[in-house]
Structure 1
Amino acid sequence: MNRVATSLLVTGVLALTLAGSGPSRPAGHVVETGFRSVGIGGKLRLAVYLPPGYESSHLRYPVVYFLHGLPARATSFRGIDFLRHALDESGRGAIVVAPQGARDDDTDPEYLDWGPGLSAGGYGAVLVALHHLDRFSVVESWSGYFHPTNPQGTQPLDLGSASLNARASAHTLVASLRRAFARRPTFFAFYVGRGDDRFRDENELLDRELDRARVPHVFHVYPGGHQQTVWTAHARVWLELALDHLSAAK
Structure 2
Amino acid sequence: MLDRARFVRVLGVLVLTFATAGLGGGAVSAATSATSAFRSRALNSRLHFLIELPNGYDTSGVRYPVIYFLHGLPAGPTSYQTLAWVEGTLEATGHEAILVIPQAASSGSSDPEYHDWGPGKNWETALAAELPKYIDAHYRTIANRNGRAIIGLSAGGYGATILGVHHPNEYAVIESWSGYFRPTDETGEKTLDVGSKADNDNASVHALLAQLKTQFRRYPTFFGFYVGKSDPTFVADNARLDRELTAARVSHLFELYAGGHTTALWQAHATAWLTLALDHLHAPATS
- Pick the TM interval, shorter chain: 0.7 to 0.9
**Aligned match of 1:91 in 84, 89, 94?**
94
How big is the shift at 1:108?
7.4
> Tell me, what secondary structure is at the counterpart of 2:200?
helix
Change (3 A) 1:212 1:87: same
Gaps of 5+ in 2: 1-17, 117-122, 129-151
Aligned to 1:75: 78
> Tell me, what secondary structure is at the counterpart of 1:64?
strand
Aligned to 2:4: none
Matched, 1:100 2:108: no
> So what's the TM-score if we normalise by structure 1?
0.87
Quote the Cα distance in structure 1 between the aligned partners of 2:47 and 2:113. 12
Change (3 A) 1:93 1:109: closer
**Aligned match of 1:62 in 65, 82, 95?**
65
> So what's the TM-score if we normalise by structure 2?
0.76
Deviations 1:18-62 (A, max 9, x none): 998444322212111001111111111010011111111111100
Quote the Cα distance in structure 2 between the aligned partners of 1:46 and 1:56. 23
How many corresponding residue pairs? 232
Aligned to 1:35: 38
Structure ranking higher on relative contact order (CA contacts 8 Å, 6+ apart): 1
Aligned to 2:251: 216
> Tell me, what secondary structure is at the counterpart of 2:244?
helix
Matched, 1:169 2:172: no
The structure carrying a bigger helix percent of its residues is 2
Cα RMSD for the two superposed structures: 2.0
Aligned to 1:142: 177
Change (3 A) 1:203 1:40: same
Quote the Cα distance in structure 2 between the aligned partners of 1:109 and 1:182. 33
2:113·2:159 contact (CA, 8 Å) conserved in 1?
no
How big is the shift at 1:111?
7.8
Gaps of 5+ in 1: 1-17
